[in-house]
Chain A
Amino acid sequence: MADDQNNTTENKGSDKGGLKVGRRDILKGLATVPIAGALAYGVLRKARLDRLKALKSVANELGLNTDPIVGLPLTDPDSKTINLGLIGYGIRGKQLAQALGFAHPTMVDDMISGVSYTPVDMFRKQENLNIRITAVCDIFDTYGRMARETGANVNREGSDGSLGAELPTRYRTYQELCAAPEVDAVIIAAPDHWHGPMTMEAARNGKHVYCEKPLTWTVEETYEVRKVVKESGVVFQLGHQGRQTDNYIKAKEAYEKGIVGRVNLIEVTTNRNSGNGAWVYPIHEDASEETIDWEQFIGPAPWHDFSLERFFRWRCWWDYSTGLSGDLLTHEYDALNQILDLGIPSSAVSSGGVYFFKDGRTVPDVLTTQFEYPNRNLSFMYSATLASSMDRGKKIMGHDGYMDIGRSLQIFADQNSTKYAEKIQNGEIDTAEPIYIFTPGLAGGVDGISSATADYFAARGLLTTVRNGLEVDTTHLHLKEWIDCVRTNKVPSCNIDEAFEEAMTAHMGTLAYRNNRQIFWDAANEEIII
């Protein structure tokens, strides 16, 4: 390059002389080609190293991949149409209807205007399950009317659109709905104290049941519900949509492959910090003694004079509710029961109190519960608060590693692991980095800029975002699984046996709290011992 001026002279000369390209031109023109070659060599080396690293990864060695979970096949439009009856059209009832593909026009308006959390495209693109809502039942007139309009809104349009189907029949009682010939199956989204009686009524009428959690309100009815459901042969699904969560499915796979070794402690949590999260739900302006069938609301519960608070915020009173244990511990428990096949614990202790929401409620807003599984050599710890939103995830601790399940699943090797001692020693495993990471919707390890950034994103679950408006709603998948089972007469994932375990476990937690003592489970006699 130092002789560039000479070079320029040389070029001028060559232009005149008609000689186009000299030896020096070729050298200078191609001077940087070897640099591109060096880079190509570097890329090849890196690709080989990456391949080697991937092959040597622990998860890979144990056969754990990040392939997406294969979902159920799409509903055949020629399949038998299932006629559904909705019992309860409160907050959860509306959500379930939406997950089935039916929303009230005003709810669609909210989706269109962006008030609703659900984008309207996501709702409209949700798979058609080939079902009809033929009957509804809600003891509050406004909800009953809305439920009918929801059931008829097959066009998924807003207030300015047309409904597209006939209005379903509104029954005044759940017994009448369960007896109705135009109903094949029912969705139960009533308060906790009604879950058992309604499930049994439906099953006795030969109607398949999807019931919200928990299965029951009392210990006694739990045995009866299981018996009736089993004898009737109906397809039963309990509403723990976590069964459809990809993370849990992968976590189960990892646990069964022994990646974390012997699990000895599980820590699960609930954190909420809002009036809504603490069950202080809004009271509808139309609500009054004239528009609500109060006697039917009370049902098996102890009598109480008409109360709008109790009607809309029933979760706050043991009279109708199972508290944190039934509402939120059950979600955590069912996830872990799915992953580790835990069954009912041997014992439970609980403590807590009404520490934040001094609104007259009887159920605690802060609760800790510990279940023992001596037969599995592990303890299960649950803690909840309705007045702090610190997100703590689910932690499964084993001797060789631990899992952290949030919106993504991360598995770390334990620094004192026996299984991985050699790999940690020779540097193949860095215990500060996950040995496996899976984020739903991010299968294959989608890269942002580098793999480190992708891991960071996955940990924060930031990528489970909208892609063409098709974020997967687990409740939709859970309902779909149940409807598929109704068609094929198969057993869904959260069937009556799982539901029995869920209810008994929740009741043990509640009884431990209410009796302020350790509660035991007699497995041989299937009995709770206080």
Chain B
Amino acid sequence: MKPAPFDYVAPQTIDEALQILADAGGGATILAGGQTLMPLLNLRMSQPFILVDINRIAGLQGVSRVDGATRVGPATRQFQALGDERLARDLPVFVEALSHVGHHQTRNRGTIGGSVALGEPAAEMPATAVALGATIEIRSQRGTRRVPAREFYVGPYLTVLEPDELVVAIDYPDWPQGHVTLFREVTQRPGDFALVGLVGALTVEGGRIARAGIAWFGMGPTPIAAVQAEAALVGKALSEIDPEAIAGLAVADTAPFTDHHASTEYRRTVGRRIFARQLREKLDIREAA
């Protein structure tokens, strides 16, 4: 379990990294926290010619404010984001989801951008980006583009990123103070990828749902936005919400698979159940209203 030979470079700036990616012609792989990549290298499931270590690029790290959003640098360590007071205050569900990523030890090295960009469909951070409506800023020598998280994921471990591109920022739009958060995941052991999970945010204005962002993880080839459920919720008075029906709509958007951890039908059944329960509990809706 030793990696195949590769070259290693550790650029100091984003521009330097982009130059290396452009020159590599598709043979480069970016190393951030390495919590997924290092095992893949050791298993020889990933055999890049060049490993581009972005851990020394200061411009990719840290949490900051941009207009109407919180910007998270992709190389920000997960444990740093977990301890960030602004994130805890403004995006509590981001922090809640993050606390379920891997384990204490892996979060010391693992990065936000690494998790977002890898696109593991059962992971918390891609779904959180989708749910909260994040925008992913991507740069190459060809230019900069901003891709909504909802358009970023293509398949398992597959995103719209081109081989010469680098994620340089993830912008999470503001949600008003006091918004309602949704989070529940079902894992066989703490720290495992979810058999089924959901994450989301809702705002309530004048007794009605004004805004909804909800996504599934572990429920298909990518993180999946629960768009039908979102549409059904927005504009609805709390008293009119039927959690079971909304959960049914939410599950209708998913495409879960069967593997040796859980079946498609299990994921659908439990997904619907935890979705309805989250709505009931977080919106304080009485059962069988």
A-B complex is real: no
